[in-house]
Chains A and B, each alone.
Chain A
Amino acid sequence: MRAALSRLRVVREPNLAMTARALEESAEGPRPLVPMAGGTDLFVYLNAGALPEQDYLDLWHLDELRGVIDTPGGVRIHALETFANLRRDPLVKRRYPALAEASSWVGARQIQNRATIAGNIANGSPAGDSLPVLLALDARIRLVRFSAPRDVGFDTFYTGYRTSVRHPSELIHSILLPWPLPGTRQYFRKVGTRLAQAISKVVIATTITVQKGRVTRARIALGSVAATVVRVPSAEDALLGEKLTPAAASEAARRLRESIHPIDDIRSTAAHRLRVAGRLVELAVADALR
């Protein structure tokens, strides 16, 4: 296992432009470079001997990929921001409390100091803690290649289990979170086997916007219940135009249980996930009432 690690090659370029060029050039060849950030997912696979021999492209030293920036359209979070930073960033805490909350539930301190938001996205696990939040906040992902950047809505980013629209020649550059609408309440809750270091059985993030006593917009996003993180439009529709009442909440929960089809796996059962997911929607609505 360690012998294999000692053979692995790492490419490290001095800046983002040269890094992007190295990635784009390698993507056309037989050995595309694999971008590496904090390595908290990558080294789990490497230590288990579960990856073929690949060449890596180091991003960790690129400060151009760090920073949380206030823009007219919202907050731009750069790729290498760690969950340790995001859980205590004043702007994130004030405007996107669900993201700060989710960041505080990733692994434990040691993981939060190394794990990055772009790493969570690129790893693409349906259980990724920050992913339902990005979906509920209508995040847009900026991908860059040496030739040109492009922005992709996070709701169209994944194409299947751990697959995405990101081309091997593209890097995740940053995530744009639009400003939340006035009257929006954000909610996050992760349900796992224990409080820390758990991979979720079900994870939920919601944003519920209430104007003049009625719901004008709702986003209900779930992880660990499908091959990708998912939004549940039927449950969102159940809340639209309604007052936030227990009846509206249980109707949303009922529709949610009809719409999702979780599976039995090593972490939980389909039946438990369905029950918990519905209950979480009710809790999210109750939270929005406060």
Chain B
Amino acid sequence: MKIRCRVNGVSREVETPPMVRLLDMLRETLRLTGTKEGCGEGECGACTVLLNGQPVNSCLVPACHAEGASIVTVEGLSKRGKLSPLQEAFLHGGAQCGICTPGMLMAAQALLQENGAPKEAVIREALAGNLCRCTGYVKIVEAVREAAKVTRAAAAAKKPARKKKAAGKEKAGGKQKPAMKKAARKKPATSRGKRARRA
């Protein structure tokens, strides 16, 4: 059957038998070999990809369920040749032999999309479906916290710059309301940051 989907932001049309695994469609038909096969029974998480934003084991998903879906694989994390903060953080001990890493990254990515400042227990639960036989997990959990910190810091660094801009506009012509709205919208990010610091 013909499957239309978005893979890492690019529209694709794939000709594949319907019950072939999403894992095989990605690796063999689309040649995206970053996604790994570990156990082939949904136990190890090495084949984790995001299907419509949610982490799934691609070894347990039939290709026909990718119809109309948006899929993100490990190849989709870096932007313009630059590693994502999560990938950068994993370089410092979070990855050893590397077989679990693509799956770990995707499960962690899904977590960080929902929660910008996850506590250790939350990280451990989010990664509970991903097995690693090298690291003992400590370095991986640290990498996720580090990536969250870096991402928050980057977001915070952007904020004052925007405020200055808004202030400049105010002086120039006085558009106060939009600036206030922006500040209100940022509130949740701030309170999330506070909670993490307490932890």
Contact = CB atoms under 8 A, between A and B. Distances in A.
- The bracket for how many chain B residues form the interface is 20 to 34
Contacts of A47: 21, 40-41, 59-60
A40 B18 CA distance: 16
Given A10-B62, A43-B60, A197 B129 contact: yes
Contact of A6 (B17, B45, B55, B61): B17
Interface in B4-50: 17-21, 24, 40-43, 45, 48
Given A39-B60, A114-B61, A108 B129 contact: yes
B128 interface: yes
Contacts of B87: none
A109 B65 contact: no
B54 A113 contact: yes
B17 A110 contact: no
Interface residues of A, number: 32
Task: Select the residue from A12, A36, A39 with max chain B CB neighbours within 10 A.
Answer: A39
B129 A43 contact: no
Nearest to A48: B41
A201 B107 CA distance: 27
Contacts of B65: 39, 58, 60
B61 A39 contact: yes
A110 B126 contact: no
Contacts of B40: 47-48
Contacts of A10: 18-19, 62, 64
28 contacts: A6-B19, A8-B19, A9-B18, A10-B18, A10-B19, A10-B62, A39-B65, A40-B57, A40-B60, A43-B59, A44-B42, A46-B19, A47-B40, A48-B41, A58-B65, A107-B42, A107-B129, A108-B129, A108-B130, A110-B42, A110-B48, A110-B55, A110-B57, A110-B107, A113-B51, A113-B54, A113-B56, A196-B129
